[in-house]
Amino acid sequence: LKPAVHALFKKLKDEELELLVQVVESRGAWESGCVLAPRGDPRGVKQGLPPQVLLCRLFRWPDLHQSHELKHLCYCAGGQGACGDLAGLCCNPHHFSRLAVPETPPPPYLKASCEHENQGMEPAVTPSRRKRLRQGMRGSCWGSLCSPLPDTSLSWSTIKDGCWCKLAYWEYRTRVGRLYAVHEASVNVFCELPWGSGFCLAQLPAAYRSCAVRRARGKIGRGLQLSQEPGGVWAYNRSEHPIFVSSPTLSPPGLPVLKVLPGYSAKVFDYEWAGGRGGWQLPGEGPCDLHSIRISFAKGWGPCYSRQFITSCPCWLEVLLTQPR
């Protein structure tokens, strides 16, 4: 990549190079401007990689190959349909994420775990384990359809106020703090970040936190970004640990939880798919709100994990979407 990078750097203006240095050194900790590269491939470069692929491969993902593996983040001018109006193409490596495709099969270790279960090698269900499973089934309803909390249903007044979703933060089976209303097109959810704006989990008081919760909170870091974009809602993993997502519009249906790696984005809700449908239900978990998303930080759950239900995860987020009239 060395000849291609040198050829590209020679074409960047001094202010573009200075911005690129700041972005790379901060590892995208804050929303920065576009780094504009001249249109067209640098002359004399045999590989012919687009500028955004070249810099993303250099500074973030060495195994990146094609531009279709990338997605513009919502605050990039190129991602707002204005790319054709710009003097150049944005190649800011932190204006992109990699795509986590829902159709991708589960990771190999999950597949192996499920194969063992299919072969009758699952651990024996002891009386204590059976009791915990029953308790999990009874307590695994979330969202406005069946939550015992009176303020989780989004009313018409919420829609009039321009709030497209509300966020609820949970630690195991306990909701911590009040609901956070989101009015902007995107919101960052993070823990103890010294800069940036959004839903800061460190500001939510809790009477008691177990060691497991404190360890999990320490992995949230920069957290994630939720954005409402044409047709749906996207989640971008800004942290250094995976996040796990459950949504009624994720496919295939046999994959109830999607693992999103650091630096990856996934479309976690599709408005067109959800239109005109009723409630949805996961096997053994009871009914759930069709317009809700659940995201666990660093810990997965489901049939192929030791945690069967999201209420067994130390730190998780409930996204309650405003239902269109």
Q: Is 245:235 a contact under the CB 8 Å cutoff? A: yes
Q: Who's near 15: CB < 8 A, 6+ residues apart?
A: none
The residues of the chain that CATH labels 3.90.520.10 are 1-99
Q: Who's near 36: CB < 8 A, 6+ residues apart?
A: 16, 86, 87, 88, 89, 90, 91
**Rounded distance, CA 29 to CA 181, Å?**
23
pLDDT at 206: 82
The residues of the chain that CATH labels 2.60.200.10 are 165-277+287-321
- Structure tokens that stand for 227 in this block: 């954005």
pLDDT at 39: 73
Q: Is 182:317 a contact under the CB 8 Å cutoff? A: no
Closest CA to 198 of 75, 293, 82: 75
The pTM score is: 0.77
pLDDT at 282: 56
Helix (H, G, I), strand (E, B) or coil at 11: helix
Query: How many CB atoms sit inside 10 A of residue 315's CB?
Result: 26
pLDDT at 122: 33
pLDDT at 136: 39
- Per DSSP bridges, beta strands 165-171 and 174-182 are antiparallel
68-91 confidence digits (pLDDT tens): 999 999 888 865 544 445 567 899
**Rounded distance, CA 50 to CA 64, Å?**
12
pLDDT at 107: 47
pLDDT beneath 50: ranges in the chain: 42-46, 81-84, 103-127, 129-159
Among 2.40.50.100, 3.20.20.80, 3.20.20.10, 2.60.200.10, name the CATH number for the domain at 165-277+287-321: 2.60.200.10
**Rounded distance, CA 9 to CA 13, Å?**
8
DSSP 124-184: P--HHHHHHHHHHHHT---STTT-S-GGGS--HHHHHTT--EEEEEEETTEEEEEEEEE-S
pLDDT at 208: 87
Among 3.40.50.300, 3.90.520.10, 3.40.50.880, 3.30.420.40, name the CATH number for the domain at 1-99: 3.90.520.10
295-312 confidence digits (pLDDT tens): 999 999 988 788 989 999
| Percentage of the chain exceeding pLDDT 70 | 68
**Rounded distance, CA 239 to CA 224, Å?**
7
